[in-house]
Copies of this chain bind each other. A is one copy, B any other.
Amino acid sequence: MTIALPTRVTIREVGLRDGLQSIQTILATDRKREWIRAAFEAGLREIEVGSFVPPHLLPQLADTAELVADAKRLPGLFVSVLVPNLKGAQRAIESGADLMLIPLSASHAHSLANLRKTPDDVVAEVAKIRAARDASGSKTLIEGGVGTAFGCTLQGHVDKGEVLRLLQALLDAGADRVSLADTVGYADPRMVRELFEGAVRIAGDRFWCGHFHDTRGLAMANVYAALETGVERFDASLGGIGGCPYALGASGNATTEDLAFMLASMGVETGVDIARLLALRERVQGWLAGEAMHGTLWRAGLPRTFEQAETR
Task: Name the residue of chain B whose CB is nearest to the CB of A259.
Answer: B217
The one of B156, B216, B225, B300 in contact with A304, judged by C-beta atoms closer than 8 angstroms, is: B156
Residue count of chain A within 8 Å CB distance of chain B: 50
- Judge whether A303 is part of the interface by a CB distance below 8 angstroms: yes
Residues of B contacting A153 in the complex (Cβ-Cβ under 8 angstroms): 304
A210-233, CB under 8 A of B: which get 1 and which 0?
Answer: 000011111011011100000000
Residues of B contacting A289 in the complex (Cβ-Cβ under 8 angstroms): none
Please tell me if the beta carbons of B304 and A151 are within 8 angstroms of each other in the complex: yes
- Judge whether A267 is part of the interface by a CB distance below 8 angstroms: yes
- Judge whether A197 is part of the interface by a CB distance below 8 angstroms: yes
Q: A188-B266, A266-B188 are in contact. Are A249 and B194 (CB under 8 A)?
A: no
Residues of B contacting A151 in the complex (Cβ-Cβ under 8 angstroms): 303-305
Q: A156-B304, A156-B305, A305-B157 are in contact. Are A262 and B218 (CB under 8 A)?
A: yes
Residues of B contacting A303 in the complex (Cβ-Cβ under 8 angstroms): 151, 184-186, 216
- Judge whether A21 is part of the interface by a CB distance below 8 angstroms: no
Shortest CB–CB separation between residue A272 and chain B, in angstroms?
A: 15
Q: Which of A192-216 contact B (CB under 8 A)?
A: 193-194, 197, 214-216
Q: A5-B190, A153-B304, A190-B267 are in contact. Are A217 and B216 (CB under 8 A)?
A: no
- Judge whether A57 is part of the interface by a CB distance below 8 angstroms: no
- Judge whether A161 is part of the interface by a CB distance below 8 angstroms: no
Shortest CB–CB separation between residue A173 and chain B, in angstroms?
A: 28
- Judge whether A73 is part of the interface by a CB distance below 8 angstroms: no
Residues of B contacting A261 in the complex (Cβ-Cβ under 8 angstroms): 216
Residues of B contacting A262 in the complex (Cβ-Cβ under 8 angstroms): 188-189, 216-218, 221
A300 to B151, CA, bound (A): 15
Residues of B contacting A2 in the complex (Cβ-Cβ under 8 angstroms): 194
Q: Which of A19-42 contact B (CB under 8 A)?
A: none
Shortest CB–CB separation between residue A243 and chain B, in angstroms?
A: 10
Please tell me which stretch of A9-17, A114-122, A250-258 contacts chain B, meaning at least 4 of its Cβ atoms lie within 8 angstroms of it. A250-258
- Judge whether A135 is part of the interface by a CB distance below 8 angstroms: no
Shortest CB–CB separation between residue A256 and chain B, in angstroms?
A: 12
The one of B152, B190, B250, B295 in contact with A217, judged by C-beta atoms closer than 8 angstroms, is: B295
Please tell me if the beta carbons of A157 and B308 are within 8 angstroms of each other in the complex: yes
- Judge whether A265 is part of the interface by a CB distance below 8 angstroms: yes
Task: Name the residue of chain B whose CB is nearest to the CB of A240.
Answer: B217
Residues of B contacting A188 in the complex (Cβ-Cβ under 8 angstroms): 262, 265-266
Please tell me if the beta carbons of A216 and B186 are within 8 angstroms of each other in the complex: no
Shortest CB–CB separation between residue A182 and chain B, in angstroms?
A: 10
Supply 8 A–B pairs (Cβ within 8 Å), ascending by A.
A3-B194, A153-B304, A184-B303, A189-B266, A217-B262, A218-B220, A220-B221, A251-B299
